[in-house]
Structure 1
Amino acid sequence: MGSLRKKEFSSFDVAVVVNELKNAIVNARVNNIYQLDAKTLLFKLHKTDQPPLRLIAEAGERLHLTSYAFEPPQVPPAFCMALRKHLRGAWIANVEQHEFERIVTVYFKIKTGLMRLILELFGEGNIILTGEKGEILQALIFKRMRDRNILRNEVFQFPPSSGKNPFKVARDELELALRGFGDVEVVRAIARFLGVGGVYAEEILLRANVEKTRKCDDLTDSEIGAIYDGLQNFLSAISSFKTEPHIVLAEDDSFLDAVPFKLKRYEAFRRQLYSSFNEALDEFYLKVKAAEQAAASIEVDKLRQEAERLRRVIAEQERALREDEAKAERDRHIGDVIYAHSSELQSLLDKFTAAKREGKDWKELISEVLAAKGSSRTPEAFIESFDARNLAVNVCIDNLRFSLNLRRTLFENAAEYYERGKKAKQKAAGALTALEESRRKLAEIEQRQREVETLKTVKPMEVMEELVKRKVKRKEWYEKFRWFRSSDGFLVVAGKDAVSNEVLVKKYAGADDVVFHADVAGAPFVVVKAEGKAPSEQALREAGEYAAAFSRAWREGAGSADVYWVKPSQLSKSGPSGEYVPHGAFAVSGKRNWMRGVPLRVAVGVIEKDGKVTFVGGPLDAVKAKTNVYVTVVPGDSSDKEFLKQILQALMAKLPKEQREKLGKVSIEHIREFVPYIKGTLVTTGF
């Protein structure tokens, strides 16, 4: 992957994203909220009759819908938990760009009114939740600032405007403003006045054919008119949804930028078009994050080495600190001991002073003193040895050993020890400061290590491949129901409950389709989709088995059930003689095509697709057509997770080691949808 610059959201980008989001997420319900990292939130949204939506919001960085599944932390951070408390289950009422700033406000409808989530996409960014009265409830970053505060319970205030809202600027106002900049370059003047940033300020001038370095006071009326027209072209494209979202490609196919309009500055580059700006941003940031993860692999080794170096430094600093503290305490204690035993020690020093005055030989004096020590007479008993070279006597009092300089008085000796202790204490204080700084640096390195470790990979392409695998496949309409493909390829769809029965028959059953129902109260409706050709006998037989299996006959432990099929036109919500037809049920008119004694059985198998091992289920013949590794299940008394585990173990026993490892990573819950009432008995196995 070549060089890839990090995108900075412009006011124009925000405007286009917000326009698209208004259509996409307004009236959607918040199913859940996840916090992917320190600054990034992922909202899982649901909108009636539409596939699930995922909205990603990164403070200071980006806002767009994503088609990719991300793995959130196992334990949600406190900020995420707070947002869930307030917003889970809320409905999105509106999405707005504040003025023309890089600020987006999402309005959430709750039982008691409206709440706002404000996303700031400039600088370090922030995400702020406000209550019904505008008071700040939660924020990613609480802080005090010169012009406003982000503090709990204070009324939220937007930051000062970065420029004039272009939608509210008239031509005369633009002319007056530009001329007021005097000898400032026109590109700088536009960027400052409108707050649109350098990229779009330059683009407006390119379209107006005005040199960006031209001084404002040199501009002609026609040039100012052209500048105004260039601005209006952008604003008109935003308002009328006439955008051309694309990613700009470098020569090596790396991504240079994601933009909502065709820009003159990128005319020499190839483009990769997308159906929406949200989609373009999603793909762009996919590669940005992949590049960041690849770079992390290089950084992590450097961080590890630096952390090891700091740990060695800290160990040495801790040792030195212990020594300095011990020395300070010992020298202070010696001074105290000298004062506590001053009379005995002074007597000892007096003997040496007298001997020196009398000219007595040192060797003779030492012999006398040692003789007195032997008789345990104080103060001679304190003496351990003499240091004739340095004229010092080494003493031991209460197991504390120290020397006294015979050239100094007793109190001069004490003062020297106190001074040494003071210096050692000062040295220890300095050592502690250095140690704390080293520990702070190590904490920063370790924090960065943790961040980088979560990103670490070997190559950008490996990251890309993994992320692409996580791209969420757009759900087909039938995936909201139970379904399978017959052994000869027909789509068979079944209701799960009264609501889905109603929707399946009313909305999705076509005139040429076939509708099955078991002759058991509360059974699901099962639709065989014709898809342009008449359903085969095999497909009808398998659909009949499916209808029988998911009826209450399975729960009651029956071995078989009767099933019939009709055309959708034979179903009605009007019963005979005005009889009430409950929700999820239909009255049948005309001939019923019966299938008697349909055996109750289903199969669960294992398939590998696109490198992934997963489960497949349905009628026995339909599963056998897809895999040789399967188990057959009939009604029985084994139930719940223990039974699901039995099925999993039976399947894994028939797989090679590599596939067993892959299947082990798939949740056992994926088997649940294939087993009626989550109970039964294993009978035969394939392979």
Structure 2
Amino acid sequence: MPKKDFSSFEIAVIIQELKNKITKSRINKIYQYDKKTVVLKLHKKDNPQIRLVMEAGKRIHLTSYLLNPPKIPPNFCMILRKYLNGAWIEKIEQFEFERIVLLYLRKKNENWKIILELFGEGNIILLDEANKILQALIFKKMRDRNIIRNEIYQFPPTNSKNPYRISQDELIQGLTQTSNIEIVRSIARLLGIGGLYSEEILYRANIKKNILYKDLKYSDFEAIFLSIQDLLSTIKDSKINPRLILDKKNQFIDVIPIELYRYKTSKFEPEKTFNEAIDEFFIKDTIKEKTSSAEKTNKLQKNLEQIDRIIDEQKNYLESQKKAINLNKNIGDIIYSQSNILQLLLDLFSPRKRSGKNWTTLFKEVFNAKKKAKMPEKLVESFDSEHLLANIKINNLKFSLNLRKNIFENAAEYYDISKKARQKSEGAFSALQLSLKKREDLRKKLQKNMDSFKTEPEQILVELEKRKIKTKRWYEKFRWFKTSDGFLVVAGKDSISNEVLIKKHTDGKDLVFHADIIGAPFVVLKLEEKVVSERSLLEASEFAAALSRSWREGAASSDVYWVTPNQLSKSGPSGEYVPKGGFMVYGKRNWMRNVPLKLAIGVIHEDSNLTFIGGPISAIKALTKYYVILIPGEMKGKELIKMVILSL
């Protein structure tokens, strides 16, 4: 069965990753997507946009997927926005290795906490500086604590021990409390770590998981204690190896931060971080839920069609019984109202009248009299010689009389049939009411299911992939290209980005290019300790020349020089001011003379999308055969863009 929540160990790994990601970030917006899921949109300087998902009772992680929030935010979301929009995240931590996460927030001179409870049905609770409850996703009274507005928040009581703080002696003493159960369950209870990681501890300690406490030696306890410390060190030292576990049908069944013995032979997909793995797992899990819902919808539709057929049959049966009630009662009434004449007819077949005649002879006598329009013989339509019935027609009503019974017995028989039909009708009516209710319930379930999942799972997955936030690489904030040999070349856009590029993103072994003209950006060739080729030097020079003021002035070429980063300084000669984005260049300059001013713009197919790329002609030509060459001219930007698009 796929994972539905996280163990305390997994939460510890998540929090360790989140500390570096979200600490000192600012809350820009808060969304609530359903009853239990809140997303914080965060901003952190020099970082791509961050979205933190918190689902009560289930999960916390960063997400790269954009979901559609409801048009009208729920009340809980509005209150969080009121207090926390613009707040800074000061700290995130796990409470005592429990499935509880604390977010510490600050806004001006005020402080708050968000408590995320990831056990049971879960909760998200907003506290003030004094730990007083301001708002909660779920308010409730419990046996051991209350979640009530204006009350002081209390953590739930626990019997488990924090594995970070437990000593070997405390471990042994704690395990004695559950000495009558398997050691794997005993460790899981004592540390609150979950069965999966309790198994892993024992595997690393080389101890069978189903052994009892009484069968363990002191050396076994030592091994268990060391195994616990070894497991915890993976969090502290960030020695994680996140992976998504797949079943035989290639469906995700688990997401884990480290290699585990239980999944030693299982198929898996590796991920860079545990947060990324969780994000993928729950997106696919959402798709599975939607797939399951689609299957459920189909089943509900089939059930609805079946109940419709049953209701039609029940209505038809009920109608037939109503007709039977009326018909047989009417026949009984006719027999009584015409009892005199009908009794005369029956008397024709009495034993005394028969006097040795057979039934066939009697029937012929009646038909002969009928031809003469004699009464009561003219009432007879036909005879059923097998069952000895006379088929009668009176006032356009046809019925049969039993020739062996008197008139009152015949009438009683029809009344009895009418009574039984009424009883059947009452039962059929009750059954119909139950069926109608069942149909109404099915319709509501079907509508609810269809409202929840109006899109096919495959379409949802495609849409989510389209809306997945692409993590920007640091150099995408600048102008950049890659040389024919694969070296990254990055250029500033203005004085501020020039300053950032040189100070923050330039290493000692990189090369810095600059056109020999005022009003040119710095261009950095990232070497990453590799030997640079002449071709890459020329392409970087062409990039520097094309981005300089020489292009705007319509020049055909420009001189470009390159230096090492340690030749740049913000300190000019005595009394000389170095402006923002500018640097003094000291020492030897390496010149590239008469560099032609030309650029290419091309198009490539990347991540299922068409992407425009620009740079020196030889560099673009190495990546695509679809490109146009640009040279300085008088054409305005919009016209040029239009012409480039039409040309490609």
Question: Does TM, normalized by the shorter one, top 0.5?
Answer: yes
Identity of aligned residues (%): 44
| CA displacement, residues 620-673 of structure 1 (integer Å, 9 cap, x when unaligned) | 88778746466979888988xxx5xx7777667x4xxxxxxxxxxxxxxxxxxx
1:60 maps onto 2:57 in alignment: yes
Question: Is 2:17 aligned against 1:14?
Answer: no
Q: Counterparts in 2 of 1:108-123, with a 5 A limit?
A: 108-123=105-120
Equivalent residue runs for 1:519-538 within 5 Å = 519=517, 524-527=521-524, 532-534=532-534, 535=536, 537=538
Q: Which residue of 2 aligns with 1:70?
A: 66
Structure 2 equivalent of residue 480 of structure 1: 477
Q: Which moved more, 1:41-50 or 1:154-163?
A: 41-50
- 1:611 aligned onto 2:608: yes
Letter in 2 for 1:533: S
Structure 1 letter corresponding to 2:452: E
On the 8 A contact 2:562/2:590 being kept in 1, the answer is: no
| 2:544 is the counterpart of 1:516 | no
Residue identity in the other structure for 2:19: K
TM-score normalized by structure 1? 0.61
Distance apart, 1:119 and its partner CA? 2.1
- One-letter amino acid of the counterpart of residue 73, structure 1: P
Name the CA shift for 1:70/1:258 in 2 (closer, same or farther; >3 Å): same
Q: 2:5, 2:18 → 1: CA distance?
A: 19
**1:417-428 aligned within 5 A:** none
Tell me how far 1:12 sits from its aligned partner.
Answer: 1.5
Asked whether the 8 Å contact 1:571–1:588 carries over to 2, the reply is yes
Q: TM-score if structure 2 supplies the norm length? A: 0.64
CA distance in 2, matches of 1:474, 1:142: 38
Pair 1:278-2:278 in alignment: no
- Rounded to whole Å, the distance in 2 between the matches of 1:96 and 1:175 is 28
Provide closer, same or farther for how the CA distance between residues 518 and 201 of structure 1 changes in structure 2, counting only shifts above 3 A. same
Q: 1:58 deviation in Å?
A: 3.0
Deviation string, structure 1 residues 288-317 (Cα, Å, up to 9, x no partner): 344334334323434566789999999xxx
Q: CA RMSD in A?
A: 5.0
Determine which of 150, 153, 156 is the counterpart of 1:156: 153
User: What is the identity, as a one-letter code, of the residue corresponding to 1:106?
Assistant: L
Tell me the residue number matched to 1:317. none
- Following superposition, the deviation at residue 263 of structure 1 comes to 3.7
Q: Secondary structure at the match of 1:164?
A: coil
2:364 — aligned with what? Answer: none
SS of corresponding position for 2:61? strand
1 CA distance for matches of 2:131 and 2:261?
Answer: 42
Matched-pair contact (CA < 8 Å) for 1:486–1:542:
no
Q: Equivalents in 2 of 1:250, 1:212: separation in Å?
A: 24
Instruction: Tell me: CA distance 1:277–1:130, structure 2 relative to 1, closer, same or farther (3 Å).
Output: same
Q: Partner of 2:400 in structure 1?
A: none
Q: CA deviation at 1:94?
A: 2.1
Give the 3 Å change call, closer, same or farther, for CA 443–176 of structure 1 in structure 2: same
Q: In the TM superposition, what whole-angstrom CA distance separates every residue of 1:205-234 from its partner, at most 9, and x where no partner exists? A: 555666666666777766666655554443
Alpha-carbon distance, 1:20 to partner: 3.1
Aligned to 2:162: 165
Helix, strand or coil at the partner of 1:17: helix
Which amino acid is the alignment partner of residue 191 of structure 2?
A: L
Q: Distance in 1 between matches of 2:48 and 2:264?
A: 36
Q: Which residue in the other structure is 1:546 paired with?
A: 547
Alignment pair present for 1:102 and 2:120: no
Is the 2:183–2:213 Cα contact (8 Å) retained in structure 1? yes
CA contact (8 A) 1:516 1:527 kept: no
CA 512–196 in structure 1, closer or farther in 2 if over 3 Å, else same: closer
1:495 maps to a residue whose letter is G
Q: Does the CA-based 8 Å contact 2:12-2:97 persist in structure 1?
A: yes
Partner of 1:336: none
Tell me what 1:679 maps to.
none
Query: Which residue of the other structure, out of 502, 506, 513, is the alignment partner of 1:505?
Result: 502
SS of 1:158's equivalent in the other structure is: coil
Equivalent residue in structure 1 for 2:560, among 560, 565, 572 = 565
Stretches of structure 2 that go unaligned for 5 or more consecutive residues are 312-432
Query: Which residue in 1 is equivalent to 2:490?
Result: 493
Please list the CA deviations of residues 497-535 of structure 1 after superposition, one character each: whole Å capped at 9, or x if unmatched.
3321112233445666342358455x5434455671234
- Residue 145 of structure 1, CA deviation: 3.8
> Residues 514 and 211 from structure 1, CA distance in 2 versus in 1: closer, same or farther, beyond 3 angstroms?
closer
Q: Following TM superposition, by how much is the alpha carbon of 1:147 offset from its aligned partner in structure 2, in angstroms? A: 3.5
Conserved in 2, the CA contact under 8 Å of 1:548 and 1:560? Answer: no
For residues 211 and 597 of structure 1, the distance between their equivalents in structure 2, rounded to whole angstroms, comes to: 73
Spell out the pairing of 1:374-393 with structure 2 (5 A cutoff). Answer: none
SS in 1 for 2:69: coil
Within 5 Å, which residues of 2 pair with 1:193-592?
Answer: 193-204=190-201, 227-228=224-225, 230-250=227-247, 254-269=251-266, 276-303=273-300, 445-454=446-455, 456-457=457-458, 463=461, 475-485=472-482, 491-509=488-506, 513-517=511-515, 519=517, 524-527=521-524, 532-534=532-534, 535=536, 537=538, 539-548=540-549, 565-568=560-563, 571-588=568-585
User: What letter corresponds to residue 16 of structure 2 in structure 1?
Assistant: N
Note the C-alpha offset of 1:97. 1.1
Structure-2 change in CA distance of 1:514 and 1:73 (3 Å): same
Q: Is the 8 A contact 1:6 1:288 kept in 2?
A: no
SS at match of 2:57: coil
* Equivalent-residue separation in structure 2 for 1:203 and 1:72 (angstroms): 39
**1:9 Cα shift?**
0.9
| Aligned-partner SS, 2:574 | helix
Q: Counterparts of 1:174 and 1:597 in 2: how far apart (Å)?
A: 73
Query: Does the CA-based 8 Å contact 1:488-1:538 persist in structure 2?
Result: no
CA distance in 1, matches of 2:226, 2:618: 67
d(CA) in 2 for partners of 1:171, 1:288: 39
- Separation (CA, whole Å) in 2 of partners of 1:283 and 1:294: 16
Amino acid at match of 1:14: I
Alignment of 1:34-53 (within 5 A): 34-35=31-32, 37-45=34-42, 47=44, 53=50
Q: What SS does the corresponding residue of 1:278 show, helix, strand or coil? A: helix
Q: 1:500 to 1:32 in 2, by over 3 A?
A: farther
Amino acid at match of 1:159: P
C-alpha spacing 1:149/1:485, structure 2 compared with 1 (3 Å) = same
Q: Which amino acid aligns with 2:65?
A: A
Rg larger in 1 or in 2? 2
5+ residue gaps in structure 1?
A: 315-430, 655-685
Per-residue CA deviation, residues 325-374 of structure 1 (Å, 9 max, x unaligned), is xxxxxxxxxxxxxxxxxxxxxxxxxxxxxxxxxxxxxxxxxxxxxxxxxx
8 Å CA contact retained: 2:179, 2:186:
no
Are the structure 2 counterparts of residues 538 and 40 from structure 1 closer, same or farther at C-alpha, using a change threshold of 3 Å? same
Cα 1:503–1:203 change in 2 (3 A) is closer
2:601–2:612: 8 Å Cα contact kept in structure 1? yes
The alpha-carbon distance between structure 1 residues 178 and 596, as it changes in their structure 2 partners (threshold 3 A), is closer
Per the alignment, do residues 514 and 199 of structure 1 end up closer, same or farther by CA in structure 2, a change over 3 Å counting? Answer: closer
Residues 510 and 524, structure 2, Cα contact 8 Å, conserved in 1: no
What does 1:671-686 correspond to in 2, within 5 Å? 686=647
Q: CA deviation at 1:104?
A: 1.4
SS of residue paired to 1:69: coil
Which residue of 1 is the match for residue 124 of structure 2? 127
Q: How many angstroms apart in 1 are the aligned matches of 2:236 and 2:619?
A: 52
* Residue number in structure 2 paired with 1:359: none
Secondary structure in structure 2 of the residue aligned to 1:60 = coil
Number of aligned residues: 521
Q: Give 2:560's aligned amino acid.
A: W
SS in 1 for 2:90: strand
Structure 1 contact 294–455 (Cα < 8 Å) conserved: yes
Read off the aligned partner of 1:126 and give its amino acid letter.
N
Q: CA deviation at 1:441?
A: 7.2
Quote the Cα distance in structure 1 between the aligned partners of 2:199 and 2:621: 63
